[in-house]
C-alpha cells in the first residue's frame, strides 16, 4: 500500500469538504480566527445564536421585563429545551427535561431506579465510567446499604442477577470513545429484572442514540459538550413513558411540585417528566443551551454520524500511515461502528504535547496517564482541519 503525501491528504480533504452537506453549518459557530478546535467533546464552542439570545435575555427579558419574564418565557424553558434534546437521543416529546447538572441528575435517576426495585441490594456499574458516575453510584449504594459492583462493560450482562436493582454505564467511553453495546446491556439488565441508567455525555449531539428503541429506563447527559450550550450549561434527564407515573426522585424541590405556586407545605410530584426537576432554572445558562441547539436545525442524525465517521476515519488512516511511526499509539477502536466522535492517541509526554499544540493554535485535551483526545464535532470541524491537525502531530512527534 502506498502512503499518501500530506498534499494528497489535503486534496482529498478539500474534496470531502466541498461535498459536505453540513459545510454551511460551521458558520453558526464563532470559532476564533487561526484556531483549530478539537475539544468539543469537553466544551463546545460559542454559537452566534447564543450570543444574540443572551444579549436579548439580559437587555430585554431581565432588564426591561424583569420578573414578568418568568411567566412570559422562563418557566417553560426546562420542558422546551428538553423537547429540543429529545430527538437527538431517540426520545419522545415530554420525556426529557433540562435541569441541574449531570451528577445531580444521575443521583436522581439512580435513586429513582433503586426505589422501583425494592428488596434488591446491588448496583452494577461500568468500571470505566467517568469518575463522577462512580462516585454518585457509590453514594447511592452506601445510603441504601447496597453493594456497588464495578465491572468492565463487556462483563455487565453476566454480572447482573436477581440482586441487581440498577445498572449504570456510559454509552460512549470518555477516554477511548468506545461505543458500548447498549442493546445487549439493557436487554441483560431487564432480563434480570434490573433497571438501566445511561450516561449520554459523549453521545448526545454526535452519536446516534435510540432510547425508545432500546427501551431504556432512564438516561442523563450534559449540555456543554457536543450540544454546545456553554461552560456549565445545564444537563438533561430522560425517563421512559412507562415508568413516569411511578417514578420518584429524592430531591423534592418546588419546581418538581404539581403546583409550585400553590406554596403547599406537603409535596405532590408533578405529572410526567417535570417531577425530575428540582429548584429554580438557571435562566442564562439554559437560554444559551436553547439557542445553541438551533445549530442542529435542518441537520439529521444520519448526517451527523456520517460526517463524524468520515472525519475520524480520515484521522485514523493518517495515524496508521504517518503518526504511529513517530510514537503515537491508537487508544480508540478502529472499527467506526464501535467508535464515538473523538479519537484518543497515546503519546509519551502527552500533557506537554497538548500544551505544544495549543501554542500552535490547535486545541485538544489530555487524560492521564498518556492519552491525548481529539474531538471531531460534525457541526463545525472540517476534513482539511483534520489533515492540518495530523500534520502538526507528525511534526511534534518527530521533534520529541
Q: Active-site residue among 29, 130, 276, 380? A: 130
Q: Is 130 a catalytic residue?
A: yes
Q: Active-site residue among 37, 38, 174, 224? A: 224
Cβ partners under 8 Å of residue 221, min gap 6 = 85, 89, 102, 199, 200, 201, 203, 204, 235, 236
Cell 442477577 belongs to: 161
Cell 509519551 belongs to: 348
Nearest Cα neighbor of 52 from 74, 28, 75, 76 is 28
Pairing of strands 147-151, 122-126: parallel
For 19, phi then psi, to 5°, come to: -95, 5
How many Cα neighbours within 13 Å face the side chain of 147?
A: 12
Nearest Cα neighbor of 99 from 318, 334, 273, 291 is 273
How many Cα neighbours within 13 Å face the side chain of 23?
A: 12
Alpha carbon of residue 172 to chain centroid: 8
Q: Active-site residue among 28, 275, 307, 373? A: 373
CA distance 345 to 50: 32
For residues 156 and 126, is the Cβ–Cβ distance under 8 A?
A: yes
| Terminal Cα-to-Cα distance of the chain (whole angstroms) | 27
Q: Active-site residue among 39, 199, 217, 365? A: 199
Q: Is 373 a catalytic residue?
A: yes
CA distance 204 to 244: 22
How many Cα neighbours within 13 Å face the side chain of 358?
A: 11
Q: Is 225 a catalytic residue?
A: yes
Q: Active-site residue among 225, 274, 275, 287? A: 225
Q: What is the DSSP letter of 9?
A: H
Cis peptide preceding 369, ω within 30 of 0: yes
For residues 289 and 234, is the Cβ–Cβ distance under 8 A?
A: yes
Catalytic residues, by residue number, are 130, 199, 224-225, 373
Amino acid at each position: 500500500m502506498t502512503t499518501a503525501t500530506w498534499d494528497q491528504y489535503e486534496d482529498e480533504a478539500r474534496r470531502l469538504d466541498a461535498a459536505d452537506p453540513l459545510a454551511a453549518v460551521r458558520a453558526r459557530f464563532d470559532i476564533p480566527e487561526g484556531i483549530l478546535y478539537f475539544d468539543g467533546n469537553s466544551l463546545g464552542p460559542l454559537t452566534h445564536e447564543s450570543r444574540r439570545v443572551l444579549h436579548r435575555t439580559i437587555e430585554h427579558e431581565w432588564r426591561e421585563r424583569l420578573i414578568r419574564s418568568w411567566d412570559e418565557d422562563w418557566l417553560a424553558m426546562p420542558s422546551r429545551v428538553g423537547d429540543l434534546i429529545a430527538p437527538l437521543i431517540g426520545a419522545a416529546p415530554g420525556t426529557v427535561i433540562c435541569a441541574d447538572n449531570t451528577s445531580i441528575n444521575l443521583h436522581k435517576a439512580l435513586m429513582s431506579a433503586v426505589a422501583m426495585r425494592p428488596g434488591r441490594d446491588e448496583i452494577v456499574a461500568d468500571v470505566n465510567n467517568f469518575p463522577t458516575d462512580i462516585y454518585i453510584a457509590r453514594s447511592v449504594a452506601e445510603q441504601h446499604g447496597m453493594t456497588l459492583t464495578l465491572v468492565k462493560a463487556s462483563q455487565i450482562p453476566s454480572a447482573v442477577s436477581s440482586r441487581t436493582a440498577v445498572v449504570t454505564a456510559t454509552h460512549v467511553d470518555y477516554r477511548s470513545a468506545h461505543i458500548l453495546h447498549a442493546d445487549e446491556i439493557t436487554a441483560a439488565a431487564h432480563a434480570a429484572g434490573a433497571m438501566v441508567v445511561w450516561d449520554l455525555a459523549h453521545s448526545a449531539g454526535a452519536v446516534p442514540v435510540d432510547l425508545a428503541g432500546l427501551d431504556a429506563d432512564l438516561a442523563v447527559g450534559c449540555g456543554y459538550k457536543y450540544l454546545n450550550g456553554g461552560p456549565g450549561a445545564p444537563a438533561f434527564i430522560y425517563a421512559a413513558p412507562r415508568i413516569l407515573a411511578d417514578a420518584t426522585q429524592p430531591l423534592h424541590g418546588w419546581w418538581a411540585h404539581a403546583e409550585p405556586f400553590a406554596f403547599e407545605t406537603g409535596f405532590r410530584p408533578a405529572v410526567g417528566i417535570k417531577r425530575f426537576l428540582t429548584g429554580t432554572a438557571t435562566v442564562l445558562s439554559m437560554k444559551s443551551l436553547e439557542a445553541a441547539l438551533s445549530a442542529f436545525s435542518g441537520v439529521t442524525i444520519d448526517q451527523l454520524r456520517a460526517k463524524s465517521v468520515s472525519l475520524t476515519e480520515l484521522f485514523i488512516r493518517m495515524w496508521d500511515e504517518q503518526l504511529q511511526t513517530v510514537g503515537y499509539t491508537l487508544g480508540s477502536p478502529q472499527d467506526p461502528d464501535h467508535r464515538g466522535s473523538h479519537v484518543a492517541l497515546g503519546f509519551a509526554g502527552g500533557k506537554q504535547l497538548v500544551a505544544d499544540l495549543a501554542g500552535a493554535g490547535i486545541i485538544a485535551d489530555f487524560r492521564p496517564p498518556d492519552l491525548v483526545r481529539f474531538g471531531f464535532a460534525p457541526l463545525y470541524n472540517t476534513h482539511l482541519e483534520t489533515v492540518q491537525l495530523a500534520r502538526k502531530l507528525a511534526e511534534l512527534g518527530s521533534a520529541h
